[in-house]
Amino acid sequence: MFGAVVVGLGIAGSVRIRDMLAPFPGSAAEKLIVKGFISRRALGPQQGVEQVSVEDALSRDDVNVAFVCTENESHEENVRQFIEAGKHVCVEYPMTLSYKAAVDLWDLAEEKGMILHEEHIELFTADFKWLKEKVQGQKLQEGTLHFTGGSLKPRFGFLAFSGIARLTWLVDLFGELTVSDAAFEEKPGDGYSKMTAKLLTADNRPLTWIEERGPGLPRAKNINFRFDSFTLTEIPPPASRGAVGLFMQDLVNFGAKVSGQVPPEEMEQEKRRILHCLSLAQEYKTSASNNP
């Protein structure tokens, strides 16, 4: 059994507690026992779980695992201190707001013999599973993924990092990508920002990834993927959302990792995909700061 603390009690942190209190029966999620949560605010017990201090969580022997569910800006610092203290870490995506920091954290986790896991619930969605099935074995000609959503919350980082879930979709569907070009637009006073990122697949097929955030914009993904014999322009509503929630599926996966049930090759492949996506995000961020 692994005692766990949840750092950051927003939407994701509250779901983590809820799921650990009622894990999917018979799954590896049952190995994770919530011992407390950490918040910057002084809160009473939440869902019956006590607040603990960071120092307490870092030093307690019955705490073996931390869930880092804070705003993106503080992921790096939180992940580092828990790994240094010899705890396994599950961090909500994106792991960090820089590629180099992610490489350093992974090196540290390996040195300490700790599991470092980045949550990617977007890969469990019915939308993604539908797309993955359609794309299987097809030859892409060109494609666009245009994400829109409300204004980015403060402390969530540059668009290419906060939107890493969309980039992960593209990499999982079409393989490793290279950056070809990018354009950025920002109206800070209005809470509006837009990134138009151009990518190339290994066989030089163009992909465009747009992240557009602003007040009143609907949370939506618009696609246009052209293959040799057909074009996908929309994702139909899922027939069913599945019996196991998205965060619960991630919890089962993380529970299996800390229990030694996931083959090292599988974890290595996942690490490679995560670092590849973060390296692309870094290239866009660098390019944005060079062309303000």
Applying CB under 6 A, the residues found at the interface with ligand NAD are 7-13, 38-40, 69-72, 74, 92-93, 121, 153
Task: Return the sign of the alpha-carbon dihedral for residues 127, 133, 134, 140.
Answer: positive
Residue identified by tokens 């011992």 is 35
Structure tokens belonging to residue 163 = 């939107």
The helix (run of H) or strand (run of E) holding residue 68 is: strand 65-68
Query: Helices H, strands E: what count in the chain?
Result: 9, 11
Cis peptide upstream of residue 23 (ω within 30 degrees of 0)? no
Query: By the 8 A CB rule, do 118 and 69 touch?
Result: no
Per DSSP, the three-state class of 172 is helix
Is the Cβ of residue 75 or residue 201 nearer to ligand NAD in the bound state?
75
CB 195 → ligand NAD: shortest distance, Å? Answer: 16
CB 163 → ligand NAD: shortest distance, Å? Answer: 10
Chain center to CA of 179: 20
Residue nearest to ligand NAD (CB): 10
Is the Cβ of residue 143 or residue 255 nearer to ligand NAD in the bound state?
255
Is the Cβ of residue 11 or residue 21 nearer to ligand NAD in the bound state?
11
CB 135 → ligand NAD: shortest distance, Å? Answer: 23
Is the Cβ of residue 69 or residue 195 nearer to ligand NAD in the bound state?
69
CA distance 221 to 229: 23
Is the Cβ of residue 8 or residue 23 nearer to ligand NAD in the bound state?
8
CB 279 → ligand NAD: shortest distance, Å? Answer: 18
CB 144 → ligand NAD: shortest distance, Å? Answer: 23
Tallying the residues shown for the chain, one arrives at 292
Is the Cβ of residue 126 or residue 232 nearer to ligand NAD in the bound state?
126
CB 138 → ligand NAD: shortest distance, Å? Answer: 28
Per DSSP, the three-state class of 246 is helix
- Sheet order of strands, 116-118 included: 32-38, 2-7, 65-68, 88-91, 116-118
Is the Cβ of residue 93 or residue 174 nearer to ligand NAD in the bound state?
93
φ and ψ at 89, to 5 degrees?
-130, 135
CB 94 → ligand NAD: shortest distance, Å? Answer: 7
Residue 61 gets which letter from DSSP?
T
